[in-house]
């Protein structure tokens, strides 16, 4: 893949186990903020909650970006939201499609996931792992009901076309968080996501299944869920599904 990202360090590999591994190492070595690690394929792509991330060769964009944001670990849920917004915006700009966001940061096209995001702290850096299904024409049967790609959603774009807008969008979304604060990110998420308010969902919270209607985000970026008995519960981790 031809990489054209001026003014930033890019380490691109034909194949890696996971871009996260290399990005974590570079972060510990003190690499600059904005450093991108990418691969044309991952042999052990990491998803959220212990899942694997299907990383077909040359079909998806698989990147980890090292971000030094001067924010503490308590801001990680907000960074997750900012990264979801950034990915959604980049896909919308490049394809003209209108992706939805499912808290905290699944990017959906027609209820199926086209991009997934991890964010982990390493010392003072956040490692943002972003996977976008760009040109997949099919998926393995076990994930086919849940996954889609930009191509399958009707947008024939290259990975190169998505990469530049994605890294720019990550920069600007993180600047919004750093400069305008949590409220701006929570507001933007509320506008971009049909899941933020009034959506009936089921949530797996540490093995406990909760059902209810979403009630927006708290100031830290956690999802609020009003259960049928009236209790409002703060959702701390993913696993939100429509009912």
| Cβ 113 to ligand BTN shortest distance, Å | 7
Q: Is 129 in the site for ligand BTN (CB under 6 A)?
A: yes
How many angstroms separate the first and last alpha carbons of the chain?
Answer: 40
- Kindly tell me which residue out of 34, 84, 116, 221 binds ligand BTN, with binding defined by CB under 6 A: 116
- Kindly tell me which residue out of 34, 40, 53, 67 binds ligand BTN, with binding defined by CB under 6 A: 53
- CA 40/CA 13 separation, integer angstroms: 7
Question: Which residue in 55, 33, 53, 62 sits closest to 175, CA to CA?
Answer: 33
Query: Rounded to 5 degrees, what are φ and ψ at 52?
Result: -90, 160
| Cβ 183 to ligand BTN shortest distance, Å | 25
Only segment of 40-48, 66-74, 151-159, 203-211 that touches ligand BTN (CB under 6 A): 40-48
Contact between 119 and 80 under an 8 Å Cβ cutoff? The reply is: yes
| Closest residue to ligand BTN: CB criterion | 116
128 HSE (CA, 13 A, CB side): 32
**What DSSP designation does 212 have?**
E
Only segment of 85-93, 127-135, 139-147, 208-216 that touches ligand BTN (CB under 6 A): 127-135
- Kindly tell me which residue out of 27, 118, 152, 225 binds ligand BTN, with binding defined by CB under 6 A: 118
Q: Is 117 in the site for ligand BTN (CB under 6 A)?
A: yes
- Kindly tell me which residue out of 48, 88, 102, 199 binds ligand BTN, with binding defined by CB under 6 A: 48
DSSP letter string, 153-205: TT----HHHHHHHHHHHHHHHHHHHHHH-HHHHHHHHHHH-TTSEEEEEEEEE
Comparing CB distances to ligand BTN, the nearer of 33 and 87 is 87
Question: Which residue in 88, 125, 95, 116 sits closest to 18, CA to CA?
Answer: 116
Only segment of 110-118, 142-150, 184-192, 200-208 that touches ligand BTN (CB under 6 A): 110-118
The site for ligand BTN (CB under 6 A) is made up of 18-20, 42, 45-48, 51, 53, 62-64, 106, 116-118, 129-131
């Amino acid at each position: 893949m031809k990489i054209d990202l001026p003014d930033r360090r890019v380490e691109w590999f034909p194949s890696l186990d996971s871009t996260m591994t290399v990005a974590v190492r570079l972060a510990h070595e003190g690499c600059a903020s904005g450093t991108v690690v990418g691969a044309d394929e991952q042999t052990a792509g990491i998803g959220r909650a212990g899942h694997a991330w299907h990383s077909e060769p040359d079909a998806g964009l698989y990147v980890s970006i090292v971000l030094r944001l001067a924010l503490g670990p308590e801001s990680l849920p907000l960074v997750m939201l900012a990264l979801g917004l950034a990915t959604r915006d980049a896909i919308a700009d490049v394809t003209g499609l209108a992706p939805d966001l499912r808290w905290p940061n699944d990017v959906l096209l027609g209820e199926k996931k086209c991009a997934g995001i991890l964010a982990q702290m390493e010392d003072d850096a956040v490692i943002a792992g972003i996977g976008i299904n760009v040109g997949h024409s099919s998926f393995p049967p076990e994930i086919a009901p849940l996954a889609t790609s930009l191509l399958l959603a009707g947008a024939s774009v290259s990975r190169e076309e998505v990469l530049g807008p994605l890294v720019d969008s990550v920069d600007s979304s993180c600047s919004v968080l750093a400069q305008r604060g949590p409220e701006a990110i929570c507001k933007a998420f509320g506008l971009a996501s049909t899941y933020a308010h009034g959506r009936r969902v089921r949530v797996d919270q540490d093995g406990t299944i909760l059902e209810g209607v979403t009630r927006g985000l708290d100031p830290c970026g956690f999802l609020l869920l009003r259960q049928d008995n009236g209790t409002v519960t703060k959702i701390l981790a993913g696993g939100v599904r429509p009912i």
